Amino acid sequence: MTGPSADERLADAGRLRRLLIRPELGAAVGAIAVFAFFAAQSAVFRSPAGVANWLDPAATLGIMAVAVALLMIGGEFDLSAGVLTGTAGLILVTLATEYGMNVWLALLTGLAVALGVGFLNGLIVTRTRLPSFIVTLGTFLMLQGVNLGVTKLITGTVQVSGLRGASGFESARVIFAGTVQVGQVHFRVAILWWLALTAVATWVLVRSRPGNWIFAVGGNEQAARAAGVPAARTKIALFMTTAFAAWLVGSIMALRYTSVQANSGIGQEFIYIIAAVIGGCLLTGGYGSAVGASVGAVIFGMADKGIVFLGWDADWFTFFLGAMLLLATLANHLVRRYAEEVRH
């Protein structure tokens, strides 16, 4: 005889609990609600061309949001991420236009500088134990000054332009800033970069040992160290990942517009953090997902373009950001409390 089967109601309750504590659940519900609202009001918004339109800002934001989410899960912040996108773009355009460097070599130079900044951020945080908020705020201010000062010194203005005529521009533009045609609609290549990075980050978090390390150092760094987790290396790698994403976004924007302003990216670091929080990341670390951060970026993209499609004043977008941040933080707090009750 076979033993009594498990109560199906208990199994359903277990599945429901696991679903409710998923970090991206709130963002997914919010994305559906935002899409339904704007789609009901605007036929253009829900059309294929409209989808391509609002996926474009979601992609560049999503690339950064995913990297910032990994860092936040690891228990740290990077306030220099926004201005670093501008630094990467300025290096690319300046080297290619003012010094005649091939665009691909200029891209690699920008990548090396960005990774160096990320490494120094991580090294200072791990060696000094200073809050990453303070360390990266200092980096933010220094990069802002360098961007403005060096650009003025070289060009006499606060803008560098003329990338279109540089050697290697066309091939680099296809890879980083081109479009892919689906039917009659052109989608930005940045969307593919975003999806690829989201997939890689999700695999790292869910399927790899470094993913376990990220959650461990974000949840309890001292306990993680005691368990043999290389906390310092993990955090340095996370800062460098954020720097890589900043280089990628900065390069995409520079190749798309062929010019860069010296103040590019300033203020965007808060948008990245907000997108990650909307996606389920806790400000205290140890909880979140790459998929959630990407969904948070989609919400931003839909709101950004949806407000324009409806003809509203663009100032309402900042109101939307604040409202979404408060709602997401409250939802994350309630979910975390529920998760802790479930464990006990």
pLDDT of residue 13: 47
The whole-angstrom separation of Cα 167 and Cα 269 is 32
The whole-angstrom separation of Cα 63 and Cα 226 is 33
Q: What is the pLDDT of residues 134-170, one digit of tens each?
A: 999 999 999 999 999 999 999 889 999 989 989 999 9
Between 252 and 33, name the one with better pLDDT: 252
Q: What is the pLDDT of residues 288-311, one digit of tens each?
A: 899 999 999 998 899 888 888 888
Q: What is the pLDDT of residues 240-290, one digit of tens each?
A: 999 999 999 999 999 999 999 999 999 899 899 989 988 888 888 888 899
Q: What is the pLDDT of residues 175-197, one digit of tens each?
A: 999 999 888 899 999 999 999 99
